[in-house]
Structures are given as C-alpha cells and as structure tokens.
Amino acid sequence: MSQISLFGDEREEKQAVPVGKTLSVLVPYPVDKAYDYAIPKNLEVHEGDYVCVPLGQREITGVIWGQAAGDIEPKKLKAIISKYPLKPMPEIHRKFIDWVAHYNLAAKGMVLKMSLSAPAALNPPKPSIAYRKKVSDIPAKLPEKRKAVLETMTEGKTYSATELAEMAGCSTSVIKGMTEKGLLEMVEVFGSPPCSSINPDAGQHIDLSKQQDDAAQEIISDINAQKFSVSLLDGVTGAGKTEVYFEGVAQALKNGKQVLILLPEIALSNAFLDRFKKRFGCAPALWHSGLGTAQRRETWRGVANGKTKVVIGARSALFLPYQDLGLIIIDEEHDPAYKQEDGVIYNARDMAVVRAHLGSFPVVLVSATPSLETIHNIWEGKYKHLELPTRFGEAQLPDIELVDLRNDKPERQKFLSRALLKALVKNLEEGNQSLLFLNRRGYAPLTLCRGCGHRMECPRCTAWLVEHKRSGKLHCHHCDYHMAMPKTCPSCSEEDSFVACGPGVERIFEETSEYFPDARVMVLASDTAESHDDLKAMLKKITDGEVDIIIGTQIMAKGHHFPDLTLVGVVDADLGLQGGDLRAAERTYQLLHQVAGRAGREAKKGHVLLQSWMPEHRIMKALAAGERDAFFDIEASEREMANMPPYSRLAGIIISGREEHMVKEVAEALGKISPQGANAHGQRIQTLGPAPAPFARLRGKYRYRLLVCADKHMNLQKTIENWLKQIKIPSNIRVYIDIDPQSFL
C-alpha cells in the first residue's frame, strides 16, 4: 500500500505517538466487529473517514465506524496511521452496510469490502499529461503532419497525445517531436469525474402518452417529497418504461441528487448507453465486472465525492459509497442476475429497496414480467403499481404460436420443426431478421459412448461435460475444467464411439447453416464474445441488419431492441421446466416472454413460435394467450398451498469441503439440532435435510444442503444464528447461509 505514514518508521514504538481519544474502525476482512484504535493527537478524524490502520503485520484501509467499544485498555491500542483525503462515507451508507450484513448473516467487514471495491481510488488522482498549442500562427515550411496537428487544435485547449494523433492522423511521436521543437507545450491535467456534467434537459422534448405521464408524475412527486416508496413500472416491452423512468432520473438530477440505474449485467448494451447520452447529453458512469482499474478508480471516486451523478451498473454498483443518492431504478427487476451467489450472498433488488428506505427516496422496479414476490407486494398494498399496458406507437405485441413437437417432429438428430423452418424461409425472403433461442451454450450438453453408454462427466463436479466444437473440447460449465475430446472411450476403449446428445447453440448453428447456406448466421452466447467490447460489437452488427439469423442464449433475451427482428423461434420451450426448482415455472414464463418481446418492436409485426413437447402445460398456454395475470394467480395459489415464498421465508444452508465424510458429519450434526416446530408466538419453522446437494460436488468440493422454511414474520436470522453457533465448524469446512435462496443447487 503506497500510503504515506505520518510517523515514518517510528510508528511501531507506540509510546512515541501522542494519542487522544479512541474510535472503532471496520476493516474489509471476514470480521463482524469494528476494532478500537487510538487517534494520534495531530490527526483529525470523524466517523465515516477512510483511514489506514495497522492490523497484525499489515497496514490496511478501513472506515471509522463509530465510538470505541472500550473493550481494550487504551494503552494497548494501536493508533490510526493516516487518513485518506476523501469525503467521509455517509452515515446512511454505513447503516446500509450494517443492515446488509445483518440480514444476510454475512460479516460486516465483507460487506464493507464490496464498498471498497477500487482501492486505488482512495489516493488522490494523478494528473495525466496533455498538450497545448504554444504558437498562435502556423509557421511557414512546417512538415504536413505537424501542420495538420496545429490545424486541428483550438487555442488554449488541452489534448492527450493519442487524441491529437487520432485527430490529425499521425503517430504520437510527431506530437513528442513538436513539443521538443517548442510548437506544443506539455501540461498536467486532471480529468473530470465520469458523468459529472449532465443536463437533465438535453434530450429532445417528447410528449408522453396519458398513461406514461401519469406514471412519470407519480415517480416525480415521490422524488420531490424525498419520500421512500417502491413502485413497479409494469408494462409490456416497448411500452415506454425507459422513457418514463428517464423522467424520474431528470427530476432527481434537477434536485441535485445522484441516481443509480441497475441493469442485469448483460443488458449494458451500446444501444442503451447511446440512448442515455442523447437524453442527458453525457455518458453515464458505468460499473460492472468488465471494467479496467482506471475506470473503476475514477467512477468510485466520482461517486464518493458526489460529482458523478448517474451510475448505470450491475448489482455491485449498489455498494458504491454514494454521497447523496436520491433515486434507484432496477430495470428487469425479476432477473436472476440480481442475486449474488458467492462471497456475500445477497439479492441486489431487495437490498436496493432497503437502501432507498434508509435514504428516504423512491425506488422504481421495472419489468414486463415482474417476479411473483413483487406482484405479491402489490397485492398486499406495499408497492405501487404503475401500469403501461400497450406498446407505444404503431408497434404491436407479437403473435405467439405453439408448435407441438409430437405432431411436427424434427428429423433424426435435428431440432427444428417444419413449422419453424417454413417461418424462417418466409422471414428470410422478406428480408427480416430471425432469432433462434436456445438457452444452452456449446454443441451438445451430453457426450455418450455408443458402445458402453459411458457419459463424459467433470472429474470435479456433478455435471456432464459439454462439447464445444469451436474449441474442439469438452467443457464443464460449472468450473474451468476442460479436456480435448478423447479418441477412445475412457471406459470401454472403443474408438470414435462418442455421440452428441441434445442440442446447444453451436449445433443449431450447424443445422441452420445446412438449411440456409446463404444466410448470414451468428451465434451469440456469453462465451462466443471474448470481451465486453466484443459483445457490444456483435450486438451492433445485429442492430445494423448485418445478420439474418441469430442463434442465441439468454444473453439475447434481455433488453435489446433490434429493429428488423420479426421472428423468434424458441427451440426448446420446455428446457427451463426441468429440475423442479421452486421458480422453474415463473422463470420459464419470464424468459420466454422476454425473448418473445424481441420480435416486432417497430412497425413490422412480430411472430413467435414456441417448440414444445407439452403445449398443454399452463405456462405454454398462458404465453400463447398473453394471460399473464391468470398465470400469476395459479402460480401464487400453488405456492400458497405448498407454504413456499412469497407466503413463507426460506434459507439455504450449504456445507462444503474437500473431505466428504467431514462435510457429511457437520451436516448431520446441524440436522440433529435443526430448528423445527413452533416458537412461543406460534410461528412455525421447518428444516429439511441434510441431503447431498443436486450438485453434490462442485469444483472438487463436496456439498450438503439444508433448507429452512419459516413463517413470514419469524425472525429467521436470529433463529439461524442461534442454531449454527451451537456447533463448532472445523476450519476446512465452509458453511454458507443463503437467505431467500434463488438457487437450490
């Protein structure tokens, strides 16, 4: 850590440090307690300040959390080393960290760590080198390149070398040469924080429809009242939800507040960002896992000092230390990507509601297919319902048609029905774009030996290896294990005996290319794009009409707006219903509805074909008939009968470790004393398990699960805490607590 110590090397000799009062400091480590530290006399610090403190042999960054606990004799306390020159972390944010830790049974320090996600941002930014014109007239007999550079420059303005080189069409060495000759001068400049000069009125004025305006006014009045509220902006794709919430963003900006827009990571597309830029005259600050250190540092700092006004990000953006947040938008609120499944396990959508409550401002959930939890909160009167039932303008909702695969069976080893092929032919002839949707990466999900029936499995996970033709390898989709496709079966040694079972997108690509050799076909899955920029470039190609048929996974389902896309074929509509997950039906409904929504988003009418082996299933029927509310009613009554969320609360307990017998032992010991029955208030609780998890082995670790199901108003966290602390967990065994689990694997 490049931190300047106040005391040089003497700080180890505690006696030399004149100390005054004491305060507690929370550090970003798996600890729940803020430790007491002494404050040197010449250092002025306050709660929320970012400080450097000694911990063991190291010097680390922490945040002053509050008053000292006083459990250590002042003389024995170590002293804070230094303070970073930053505005303190606001009290609301510190309370938020406490709350998130408490609710998710996570260590406070680990939640803090999510907020200290750009360590380099703590130190003052370094200036960068820029160039300025040093001569007012262009000297005669100047080489062409140098002349071009001077001509593109405005007097008094500064430019980076790469910027100049690009503008003048020369190399950066020309710039250096010109500086040596005294034509340019080098200056140090500080960049402005991202999204700091944003204009709420930059965009063209648009007239909202009556429905849109009502929804916008409702949001605006809550923003102005600085009042906590949760609204669901509920409308079909293309209804203008984005347009409506942009009005809210504009109002919050006019009130001088910061705004956070959460998107499922993959939806951070160019198209959306361009639209934002047009509306607000400035690019938003971005926050997601694909950013480089420099961008992270600048955004973090801009957010922390209040200069960066709008952040658009994935779930982790919720933990940035906003100086004055006044609105959160959660687009696609139903999306499973809002749940973080490792490290601190939390649901960003739910935590965002808490953040808004602490900060007394509105949060707007946005979806065409809201989660049942959110709908239930509307039924209970907790959330406001802002509805936009129709698409804006000429665009109509697509027709959805079911293809019964029992009657229209694809050929052997093929997966596209005649009905779907016919529709593809027609759509190609009309010069429109088609999407074939299959939520499965790779070529085939299972590789089997024809001779002995041996299945190729991951040696580290309970999972089949997935063939990828592109890489010529078998991949595990749960860990990074991969191997070359073997020549002979490892079980019976027969040669070339492997058969691919079932389709992945690569296999659909093969089939499509066979049927339509002249069509421009593109596969789009999370692993076909090498990087975020790559992915954006591919999406742009689609938007620009350079692709006829897209074969895509769920990466294609979300948020995109492709003007020429009019046909969507869902290769296997039943796929998500396997596995018996609590939310399988809900998720399938959401995903398929979302995919269907990609079709016909402009004047051209869209058409959707769902290939299914069980077209009579209530989900297929609800999708085809567009009966969302009927679907929710049935789904809700089933959950209520089974006493499942949103009518009860769940927590998953996962025990994991390398030694199977130890994992089992701990799981069984916990099972023996698990919470069961009713408490003094008549609130019921039941614990199921332990049982080996469906992924009994993951990345070489064995896994057992328990599932706690409790009445809604029970203090589940307290119960779990009291339960788990009765057993000493060996150091090579990890116990994960998943409050409100989404995954049961």
Least separation in angstroms between residue 567's CB and ligand ADP is 19
All residues at 6 or more sequence positions from 723 whose CB lies less than 8 Å from its CB, including other chains: 670, 673, 674, 675
Of the pair 242, 648, the CB lying nearest ligand ADP is at: 242
Q: Are 549 and 436 in contact (CB under 8 A)?
A: yes
Q: Are strands 384-388 and 229-235 parallel, antiparallel or unpaired?
A: parallel
With CB under 5 to 8 Å by kind, the binding choice for 479 among Zn ion, ligand ADP, none is Zn ion
Of the pair 73, 207, the CB lying nearest ligand ADP is at: 207
With CB under 5 to 8 Å by kind, the binding choice for 458 among Zn ion, ligand ADP, none is Zn ion
Among 7, 103, 228, 481, binds Zn ion (CB under 5 A): 481
Of the pair 38, 386, the CB lying nearest ligand ADP is at: 386
Number of residues that bind Zn ion (CB under 5 A): 7
* Other Cβ atoms closer than 10 A to 146: 20
Among 121, 150, 358, 458, binds Zn ion (CB under 5 A): 458
Least separation in angstroms between residue 240's CB and ligand ADP is 3
Least separation in angstroms between residue 243's CB and ligand ADP is 4
Least separation in angstroms between residue 579's CB and ligand ADP is 30
Q: Are 318 and 262 in contact (CB under 8 A)?
A: yes
Q: Are 50 and 60 in contact (CB under 8 A)?
A: no
Q: Tokens 């973090």 identify what position? A: 300
With CB under 5 to 8 Å by kind, the binding choice for 239 among ligand ADP, Zn ion, none is ligand ADP
Q: Which residue has the closest beta carbon to ligand ADP?
A: 240
β-pair partners for 208? none
With CB under 5 to 8 Å by kind, the binding choice for 481 among Zn ion, ligand ADP, none is Zn ion
With CB under 5 to 8 Å by kind, the binding choice for 460 among ligand ADP, Zn ion, none is Zn ion
Of the pair 62, 238, the CB lying nearest ligand ADP is at: 238
Nearest 5°: CA angle at 516, between 515 and 521? 120
Q: Are strands 50-55 and 35-40 parallel, antiparallel or unpaired?
A: unpaired
With CB under 5 to 8 Å by kind, the binding choice for 235 among Zn ion, ligand ADP, none is ligand ADP
* Other Cβ atoms closer than 10 A to 75: 9
* Other Cβ atoms closer than 10 A to 710: 22
Inter-CA distances, 738 with 498, 566, 685, 721, Å:
39, 41, 16, 13
Of the pair 328, 444, the CB lying nearest Zn ion is at: 444
Of the pair 125, 486, the CB lying nearest Zn ion is at: 486
Phi–psi pair at 635, nearest 5 degrees: -60, -45
Here's the x/- map for Zn ion, 460-479, by CB under 5 A: it reads as: xx--------------x-xx
Least separation in angstroms between residue 462's CB and Zn ion is 9
With CB under 5 to 8 Å by kind, the binding choice for 606 among Zn ion, ligand ADP, none is none
With CB under 5 to 8 Å by kind, the binding choice for 461 among ligand ADP, Zn ion, none is Zn ion
With CB under 5 to 8 Å by kind, the binding choice for 243 among Zn ion, ligand ADP, none is ligand ADP
Inter-CA distances, 405 with 409, 417, 501, 549, 610, Å:
5, 7, 18, 22, 10
Of the pair 212, 432, the CB lying nearest ligand ADP is at: 212
Of the pair 475, 649, the CB lying nearest Zn ion is at: 475
Least separation in angstroms between residue 627's CB and ligand ADP is 20
Window contacting Zn ion (CB under 5 A); options: 59-67, 115-123, 480-488, 518-526: 480-488
275 binds Zn ion (CB under 5 A): no
* Other Cβ atoms closer than 10 A to 312: 24
- DSSP string for 678-737: E-TT--EEEEEEEEEEEEEEETTEEEEEEEEEE-TTS-HHHHHHHHHTTSPPPTTEEEEE
Inter-CA distances, 356 with 226, 329, 717, Å:
10, 10, 22
Q: How far from the centroid of its chain's Cα atoms is residue 283's Cα?
A: 19
Of the pair 95, 478, the CB lying nearest Zn ion is at: 478
Least separation in angstroms between residue 496's CB and Zn ion is 25
Q: Are 121 and 296 in contact (CB under 8 A)?
A: yes
3-class SS letters over 619-683: HHHHHHHCCHHHHHHHHHHHHHHCCCCCCCEEEEEEEEECCHHHHHHHHHHHHHCCCCEECCCCC
Binding site for ligand ADP (CB under 6 A): 206-209, 212, 235, 237-243, 392
Binders of Zn ion in range 18-77 (CB under 5 A)? none
Of the pair 49, 265, the CB lying nearest ligand ADP is at: 265
Of the pair 11, 475, the CB lying nearest Zn ion is at: 475
Q: How far from the centroid of its chain's Cα atoms is residue 556's Cα?
A: 15
With CB under 5 to 8 Å by kind, the binding choice for 237 among Zn ion, ligand ADP, none is ligand ADP
With CB under 5 to 8 Å by kind, the binding choice for 323 among ligand ADP, Zn ion, none is none
| Paired tokens of 228 | 């906590």
Measured CA to CA, the distance from residue 34 to residue 112 in angstroms comes to: 11
Q: Which chain residues interact with Zn ion by CB under 5 A?
A: 458, 460-461, 476, 478-479, 481
